[in-house]
Structure 1
């Protein structure tokens, strides 16, 4: 590697003041300790306690939706979101191939079929215009439902994923869903604190999912949440995620197969503290973006991915786009060996063993980004 990359790696280690800089670490201080200690002292550390209700209320207020239902992780959130949105077995669900595997897994838990479509270079998320062309090619309306002519199955939903916290171009997707009677379910796992035309992600779909894994913009340790503006769907999601137990003072009655997905109170306590800091985290990430933007100007053939027009992203993970003549793996090897953790974007879903035989569109941009996009350290910090 040339001197430009050596300068790049050195500058990052100096910024973070570490010999090895992780990709993304959680940030805690006394507030988290106070809340978690209070939770422990209360004795209510599991699925009952004041912090769960408080976290749901404050999360709904932060994201601008009517209701939030806290669960154990983002995959569980998406699983239940798809279920309450009406996705059923043997129905197809449009989603990007370029996503974390949870998007496809959550669909498969319902015995539904992931149907992979391409992404946009401008957003890194699902491309509504390419999706429309694909629908014209393989779809037809019958009795008010979109059918896949090639498989004979109903296509029920569209799941856009806001990649690395950057909102997809969602207005055309909403119009597409209305025209073809598709349910919009947002995979907003990475986009807490991100906005499309001034509105928080997760507020556009009939129901949406967030993640609070340890590497996200904020964390509850493990955790996720379902967002919706529909009270009935929220009540149903809460019922399902608490083993579908019918409320009673002492009896254990369950009226359908439910899931033990409720977020523990101790995790919600951590979340309440972290939620207070999200605005600060995002401001620091935007400062980090400016730092990287100047730094990559010194490397020929490399650009920093910036938020799309009409959006304000949380810049959860900073992303470099390499020109085609670069060897992605050579860059990754150099950075990791020189103390800067970096990674490629996910292997596209259609290339993974469980999903390689699923229906798909042409995935030109997906394949291009697989070979040219890498993530670099993104832990928020104050940049001087």
Structure 2
């Protein structure tokens, strides 16, 4: 048992980044200065409201800490970012039996609500090769990273660390160019100092649909000019997996890709997930017009389309179903041909009769090819 402090407070949106920046210093000062301090967890309740979940060894430790207030500069700096106190409660912690078969935590890589991800760690001490997942959903806020958690579960069970990232999307503040691209770049680069159990020399990027586009873009960041959003990567991936990826933005724009979103009652692709944020659909439907790509890049293809950046470097696996109702398989074929023509290593796997979501289902036969390729890439040897 231990004592739990539940303190709810407000932070003005313009102070959120400063509060998150001050947080590590505050926690470090607590560890040095506060007897009985065990752990702290920060929970975002809404845009302005936060819950601090702090664990102490006993009531006296909590009382002593309250009496000290902001006695250390790092603690005072954190307190200075807070707008007001909503409430403070205490309780005694009784733990239920914990499931030690999965270790998952949410990590913020920026101050915005969508600048987060889940880090999954397998059993053991590591260092573990990493698969960074980027979900699809027409780059819109209608869908989120929950649609790809089945892939995360499968990969972590195979011994990979998995980083399932969220990013700002069309239909929320900052979505589109450059915010979406800056977020994906920052999310990948956040692996650099996230956890000592991660082998950041063995990172594979995996994306589905619109996330396949973003994963491919992130894999080619080294080819961006210095002034481009997302240039100068900290993490250099050793492989890219695109599953039904929207890899040719010019073709997608010309085809009116995503204009189906103008009709919320349109028939979705087979096995499509339910919207995570259905309330966002109305704004997207109003803005989408004849296609979603202009809302994403506004004609800036050179720094955003994988087909324009493709070249030698990161090995590629592109998987696409012939019965894909959302993204034409030709876009993946064209991209892998471009990589090969530029001297790179690319494997294209076409799934006969495969739909848009078949390629991202761990139970589908093609998944063995995907995981086999990842194994070959991170180990340098074929899977037995």
**Shorter-chain TM-score: which interval?**
under 0.3
Q: Flag the structure with higher strand content.
A: 2
What TM-score does the superposition give when structure 1 sets the normalisation length? 0.27
Which protein, 1 or 2, shows the higher relative CO under an 8 Å CA cutoff with sep ≥ 6? 1
